[in-house]
Amino acid sequence: MNFIDSHVHLADPAFDDDRADTVERARSAGALALLCIGESLDAARRAGDLAARHPGFCFHTAGVHPHDAADFDASRDLAGIRAELARGAVAVGECGLDYHYDHSPRERQRDAFAAQLALAAEQARPVVVHTREAEDDTRAMVSDAGRAGVRGVLHCFTGSHALARAALDVGWFVSFSGIVTFRKWGDDELVRLVPDDRLLVESDAPYLAPVPHRGRRNEPSYVPLTIERVAAIRHASPDALAGITAANARHLFGLA
């Protein structure tokens, strides 16, 4: 099946030994494109190098993850993100709020997220958003950004129906990862409430390998396992769902 992996950390050191082979395995598995996430400026630069090495197949993003928001420096980091956008990054992020791990103080997370949403508005680019146990603040900030014309995706989404609906209401997308294949996954209704034209799929590799690879390093060639599960939940054909989500990724991120 032909698919697009809308979220992969291919610049992560987990792929240092076999990054080129991982890209080739993704192609062989039917991938049409990989969106390589820059969750830090360092990662964004490496993801940008990957995009340059695989034009038309690897694309990249640039942002500062909520885990690192404590070190966010608006003038330095926004300039860095702007520079990556200027050399072809297709989106801002991943950025957002993570009150589960609380690796950075929440107020600093909100400041860094707000600054990146404002940059996305200024640059007219979509945003890749990470949110975990930060429902109210995410809903408020995404709704405000959406009303200001910013579009984006709630990636690897496992939150509430209310948050998904709030994002969908302002034109956003929702992306599902291998978590939907886990035995403990228990919210098929969430997977069904996202309309066809707002649905994305992702690996989030090297994390969250779908069953039966759970617990091992994840990679984009496993995305079809997630697509099969999402399709089963939605009573859709896997090939059709792969095509729809690929078209959505091309549309949201403007992939050539």
- Binding segment for Zn ion (CB under 5 A), chosen from 69-77, 87-95, 164-172, 223-231, is 87-95
Total of residues contacting Zn ion (CB under 5 A): 3
Residue 198 interacting with Zn ion (CB under 5 A)? no
Contacts of 77 (CB under 8 A, 6+ apart): 41, 64, 112, 115
Residue 71 or 122: the one with the smaller Cβ distance to Zn ion is 71
Residue 60 interacting with Zn ion (CB under 5 A)? no
Residue 14 or 236: the one with the smaller Cβ distance to Zn ion is 14
- Binding segment for Zn ion (CB under 5 A), chosen from 34-42, 67-75, 171-179, 218-226, is 34-42
> Which of the residues 88 through 107 are near Zn ion (CB under 5 A)?
94
Contacts of 239 (CB under 8 A, 6+ apart): 1
Residue 125 or 155: the one with the smaller Cβ distance to Zn ion is 155
Identify the bridge partners of residue 169 per DSSP, sorted by sequence position.
none
Closest distance to Zn ion from the beta carbon of 243 (Å): 24
Residue of this chain nearest to Zn ion (CB atom): 130
Distances (CA, A) of 88 to 26, 76, 151, 200: 22, 19, 18, 21
Residue 160 or 239: the one with the smaller Cβ distance to Zn ion is 160
Distance of CA 137 to the CA centre of its chain: 19
Task: Spell out, one character per residue from 143 to 172, where the chain touches Zn ion: x when CB under 5 A holds, - when not.
Answer: ------------------------------
Residue 130 interacting with Zn ion (CB under 5 A)? yes
Residue 19 or 234: the one with the smaller Cβ distance to Zn ion is 19
Burial level of 106, CB count in 10 A (0-12/13-18/19+)?
middle
Closest distance to Zn ion from the beta carbon of 204 (Å): 5
Q: Which residues bind Zn ion (CB under 5 A)?
A: 37, 94, 130
